[in-house]
Structure 1
Amino acid sequence: MSSHDRAAAAVLAQVALAADGAVIGLVLAYVAIQSFIKFGSTSSALRKIRRAPAVRVSDLRILLSSPDDNTNNNNTSNDDTSEATDGKLLVVSGLVEVKSAVDGNWRNFRPNVLVSNETGERGVVLQRTQTCIYNEWRGLFGWTSDLRNLIARSWKEQKSASLRTVPFILVEGGQWPGTDYVIVNLDGSRHPLPLMTVYHQLQPVHASPYTFLQALFGHEYPVGLLDEEKILPLGKEISAVGICRLQDGTPEIKSCKDLPIFLSDMTKDQLVVDLAFRTKVLLWGGIFLGSLSFGILGYAIVRNWNKWKEWRQQRRAQQPRVAAAEIGTDEDLGDVPDGELCVICLLQRRRSAFVPCGHLVCCQRCALSVEHGSAPKCPLCRQTIRTSIRIYST
């Protein structure tokens, strides 16, 4: 670990343990609150997916056109999203197929599919990612990179990604072609997609004389490029969890913003098990972190309360001594030899001796100010002192 990293770690440790751990207790409390919030949203999504029926593609038209089911759905699902008024929350499983295959025009002869440039795999979603890997060595003048990061952000992008999609549908396996289908609508969906990696390669970046200068002065320089391609291939079996309705007589399914999943490799039972496990982790994690933060904050409150009471007692004990020092000020302001002047104020006579070193070098007022400082040390020998004693001359 470099000196910069050790200094940063020391600063973070001091901040985390500030006020006897109150800061770290507040951080844990915030994480616990966020865990409980996520638990609420995840448990709500779990209840909705459990109630959502798992249907086949061939049964969608009958299910969506039945008015009785719509009435029952509205009466039993009061906590569904507003989108449910135009459709039903369903779990539909099927095989991925391009929508141009059922358009019924001349494009059937040339299906609108996306093809991977590297492997030639066909799919309906194509994601290309290029990640630039930088060297983290700070060089001989590494402080310049820290200063640059404080003044302005680096203008180089470390990661660039592009996502292309074509309209696609879900069909029932074993009955395609010549079967019903459901259109998958990705508009407004920010849910993760069940993509498959088809290309992954790391290419080194050759060094140049300019790269040597960058390394010498602590600037980041690229050492490799990671290229990836992910696709949603044709014929892959996935499950769609969302609001399904009839659009111009054709079933269409759209994502629900209150659910964390739209398209997935798992079946409904697997999704329920996965979400149930997440809810348990979030619940018990929130309880543990909340209890830990409560204990740390309670300890910090008690410690700071005791420190405050000790400070008040010390202040009360100081008042008679400060008053005595004020009384003795007038008598110590006369003609005092240079060898008997206070080494701090150089105005009054030396009256107080420090314990345990015993040096008599300060007046009573300066001795009290040194004694009650943050790090009380004797001005002569720099030894830590506990208190001071007034010396009366005959």
Structure 2
Amino acid sequence: MSVHDQAAAAVLSHVALAADGAVLGVALAYVAVRSFLRFNSNSSALHKIREAPTLRVSDLRSVLTSSDVEDSSEQSDGGKLLIVRGTVEAKSAVDGNWKGLKPPNVLASHESGDRGVVLQRTQTCIYNEWRGFFGWTSDLRSLFARSWKEQESTSLRTVPFVLVESGRWPKSDYIIVNMDGSRHQLPLTTVYHQLQPVNASPYTFLQALFGHEYPVGLLDEEKILPLGKDITAVGICSLKEGIAEIKSCKDLPYFLSEMSKDQMVVELAFRTKVLLWSGIVLGALSVGILGYAVVRNWNRWKAWRQQRQIEQQDAAARAEDETLTAEETGDVPEGELCVICLLRRRRSAFIPCGHLVCCQRCALHVEREVAPKCPVCRQTIRSSVRIYDS
């Protein structure tokens, strides 16, 4: 573990254990609540996917009825949740927008030349860090600027595409894939992956000298959704102007995937169990830690309150001693002396026995004992009362 990681771990441990672990307990409770919320959403998604029928592209028209038609002037969320397995094809290849030997409207990789309907290009600048002569500044930045290690830029391009029946020609039956508003992960294929070193410059030398991060490489990647790839679409299917269309459902974790329905169900079931048990375990830990923190802080508060009362009683006793009259500090008859200190006059009577045998200061000391008892009759006492002469 590096120096930066050790410093970060020390700071986090001190924060987490603050207030006898109350901060850690609250953090665990937050994670447990998030786990239960995700468990609820995953359980709902698992139920929906289990109930959703799996169809081929050619069977869609027999399932979708006229009630699933969307009005072109007023968009609605009508439709049925279906799981469709098909092959990726450009929309221009099935609607007759290309003629002769002209290729359909597709995207081509800049480096490999592979064709697809989705093209994602990612450039990641990788940074290195050297402590340098003034490397102490990086210790501070490591706690607040760990995201500076990599800087990534991503561009995503798509063209309209459809899913067709695998191995059938002509492709008269197809379903349009509507990507609007979808943020689901796409089953892309990497066609280009190369790490290129970055040439050093005088500015790079200054960055390294003062302990700053400096670029050492540029990772260039290209991913596509290729033509002819078999994928599964999970979403809301409807008829729009007589043509089947599928769009993503925000309540489901899948939209376009390489997995089959059975594989999705298995993965979601496993994820649901993990979230459930993690929520239970983290919730139990948070309750235990918070309970321990509450008990510890409550005991500390009671001890502080008791100490405060003792200090106030001592102050009152000292003030009382300072105002003793000459009669109490002078010659006191032997029968009226305190049986404990034998210096001051008897002024406090014990309750409930009622014996007047101690001065006020000694009576307070007797009360603070673990098992206070009257020094005469050895009966357990509850408190004492100051007796004043009329």
- TM-score normalised by length of structure 2: 0.75
Give the deviation of 1:86 after TM superposition.
2.0
1:213 match: 206
Q: Matches of 1:329 and 1:8 in 2, distance apart?
A: 57
Superposed displacement of residue 306, structure 1: 1.2
Give the CA deviation at 1:98. Answer: 0.6
Shift in Å at residue 143 of structure 1? 3.9
Structure-to-structure mapping, 1:61-72, within 5 angstroms: 61-65=61-65
Q: What is the number of equivalent residue pairs in this alignment?
A: 316
2:218 is the counterpart of 1:225: yes
Residue 93 of structure 1: which of 59, 81, 85 is its match?
85
Matched, 1:242 2:216: no
1:187 equivalent in structure 2: 180
Q: CA deviation at 1:105?
A: 3.2
Q: Which amino acid aligns with 2:240?
A: Q
* Residue 80 of structure 2 corresponds to residue 125 of structure 1: no
Instruction: Find the aligned partners of 1:88 and 1:151 in 2 and give their Cα distance.
Output: 47
| Counterpart Cα distance in 2 of 1:175 and 1:326 | 105
Distance 2:147 2:273 in 1: 41
Change in 2 beyond 3 A, CA 1:156/1:10: closer
Superposed CA RMSD in Å reads 2.7
Structure-2 separation of matches of 1:167 and 1:99: 6
Paired residues of 2:112 and 2:191 also in contact (CA < 8 A): yes
Structure 2 residue 137 is the aligned partner of structure 1 residue 137: no
Which position in structure 2 is the counterpart of 1:11?
11
For each residue in 1:36-81, what CA deviation from the matched residue of structure 2 results, as whole angstroms up to 9, or x when unmatched? 00011111111111111101100111211366xx7xxxxxxxxxxx
* 2:20 paired residue number: 20
Gaps of 5+ in 2: 69-74, 324-390
Look up the match of 1:111.
104
AA aligned to 2:81 is: L
SS at match of 1:60: helix
8 Å CA contact 1:215–1:221 kept in 2: the answer is yes
Structure 1, unmatched stretches of 5+, are 71-82, 331-394
Quick check: 1:84–1:243 contact (8 Å CA) kept in 2?
no
Amino acid at match of 2:121: R
Aligned residue runs from structure 1 range 351-370, under 5 A: none
Distance 1:293 1:148 in 2: 31
Cα distance, 1:322 vs structure 2: 3.3
Once residues 19 and 260 of structure 1 are traced to their aligned partners in structure 2, the CA distance between those partners, rounded to angstroms, is 39
User: Matched residues in 1 for 2:3 and 2:139: separation?
Assistant: 13
What is the distance in 1 between the residues matched to 2:318 and 2:132?
A: 58
Range 201-210 or range 228-237, more displaced: 201-210
User: For the pair shown, which has the larger CA radius of gyration, 1 or 2?
Assistant: 2
- 8 Å CA contact 1:93–1:239 kept in 2: the answer is yes
The 3 A distance-change label for structure 1 pair 318 and 210 is same
Q: Give the CA deviation at 1:325.
A: 6.0
Give matches, 1:1-394, under 5 Å. 1=1, 3-65=3-65, 86-107=78-99, 109-145=102-138, 158-323=151-316
Aligned counterparts of 2:76 and 2:55: Cα–Cα separation in 1:
17
The answer (yes or no) to whether the contact 2:164–2:171 under 8 Å persists in 1 is no
Q: 1:206 to 1:329 in 2, by over 3 A?
A: farther
